[in-house]
Amino acid sequence: MSEWLFIGGALALVLWFSQRYGWWRKTVPWERPRVLMYHLITPPVPGGSYRGMRVAPAAFERQLQWLARRGFHFATVSELLESRPPPRTVVLTFDDGYADNFTHALPLLQKYRAKATLYLVADREEGSDWSAKKKAHHSTGELAREPKLSDAQVQEMLASGVFELGAHTLTHANLARLDAAAKQHEIAGSKQWLETRFGVPVRSFAYPFGIWDETDRDIVRATGFSTAVTTDAGIDALPLADPLALRRIKVSGKETLLAFRLRLRTGRRGLWK
Ligand SMILES: [Zn+2]
């Protein structure tokens, strides 16, 4: 009886591990650049509901250290189009514009000589709750209380040479809820606003919530963006088939370094994701 319990338990463990880490999947060729998606670089909040979005600074450093030791090449999103990136290229992206990207991420990126792309929401008034525009019940106020990047901090991040600046609409709009004129305002308006405010070219765009359709992509193209990132999980081949709908690998604060490494191999996790 106890043997069967043991075998059953071992089998359950193997299945759980396989589901969670997807170790059996084939490695996507390392010639394809990995585009990683981050939001907050902060320790978890006790009882908080955004554990996945918060990557602790220590965990982020372990990831950078591992990438650097393995000889990964760091690029910005726009650099993917400039020349063919070398094998083992990794593109770090930060969405929204939380202040910890300056206080926690920037020093670590500098320490490991890494680069990144910041998709900044233009409207960063204190109390902005970007998560609420998808589903009202997401609005717990937790993210609204997170400090946002100031213009001065963004300027320093750009002056450091570490960050490329990308757009993420004016207000973190849910594009699916807008008519064509409002979409145009949010997409084209954000490029113009950021370029005027920070005096740098803004060539890349991130669809808020990863929600987009053909109309949105047409506006993104007509606005003059050369690349755009989604939240679809995966690793795109070179040359990029659709630079205006790039897939990314979401880095979750709930995962270990082992999970990070496995996810980098395949772009996906587990059986279904
Ligand atoms: Zn966002």
pLDDT digits (tens, 9 = 90+) for 181-238: 999 999 999 999 999 999 999 999 999 999 999 999 999 999 999 999 999 999 999 9
The answer to whether 141 and 251 are in contact (CB under 8 A) is no
Q: What pLDDT digit, counting tens, does each position of 242-263 carry?
A: 999 999 999 999 999 999 999 9
Tell me the two tokens of residue 263: 């996810």
Residue type for 109, please?
Answer: L
Q: What confidence tier does 151 reach under pLDDT thresholds 50, 70, 90?
A: very high
Task: Please name the residue ranges forming H helices in the chain.
Answer: 2-21, 57-69, 79-82, 100, 106-111, 151-159, 180-198, 214-223, 257-266
Q: How far is the CA of 10 from the centre of ligand 1 (A)?
A: 40
The answer to whether 87 and 75 are in contact (CB under 8 A) is no
Q: How far is the CA of 39 from the centre of ligand 1 (A)?
A: 8
Q: How far is the CA of 2 from the centre of ligand 1 (A)?
A: 50
Establish how many alpha carbons lie within 13 A of residue 220's alpha carbon, considering only the half-sphere containing its beta carbon: 27
Q: How far is the CA of 208 from the centre of ligand 1 (A)?
A: 5
- Cα–Cα nearest to 252, from 20, 86, 87, 89: 20
Which residue is associated with the tokens 């395949």? 266
Architecture label for domain 27-266: Alpha-Beta Barrel (3.20)
Task: Tell me the C-alpha distance between 124 and 242, whole Å.
Answer: 30
Task: Tell me the C-alpha distance between 167 and 23, whole Å.
Answer: 35
- Cα–Cα nearest to 204, from 220, 186, 227, 188: 227
The answer to whether 119 and 143 are in contact (CB under 8 A) is no
Q: How far is the CA of 172 from the centre of ligand 1 (A)?
A: 6
Task: Tell me the C-alpha distance between 264 and 72, whole Å.
Answer: 11
Q: What confidence tier does 145 reach under pLDDT thresholds 50, 70, 90?
A: confident
Q: How far is the CA of 24 from the centre of ligand 1 (A)?
A: 32
90: which strand partners? 34, 74
Domains of the chain, by residue range, sit at 27-266
The answer to whether 250 and 37 are in contact (CB under 8 A) is yes
Task: Tell me the C-alpha distance between 201 and 255, whole Å.
Answer: 35
Q: How far is the CA of 223 from the centre of ligand 1 (A)?
A: 19
Q: How far is the CA of 95 from the centre of ligand 1 (A)?
A: 5
Average pLDDT over residues 41-69: 93
The answer to whether 40 and 98 are in contact (CB under 8 A) is yes
Which residues, chain by chain, have CB under 5 Å from ion ligand 1? 95-96, 208
pTM: 0.90
Establish how many alpha carbons lie within 13 A of residue 72's alpha carbon, considering only the half-sphere containing its beta carbon: 27
Task: Tell me the C-alpha distance between 53 and 62, whole Å.
Answer: 17
Q: How far is the CA of 138 from the centre of ligand 1 (A)?
A: 13
Q: What confidence tier does 169 reach under pLDDT thresholds 50, 70, 90?
A: very high
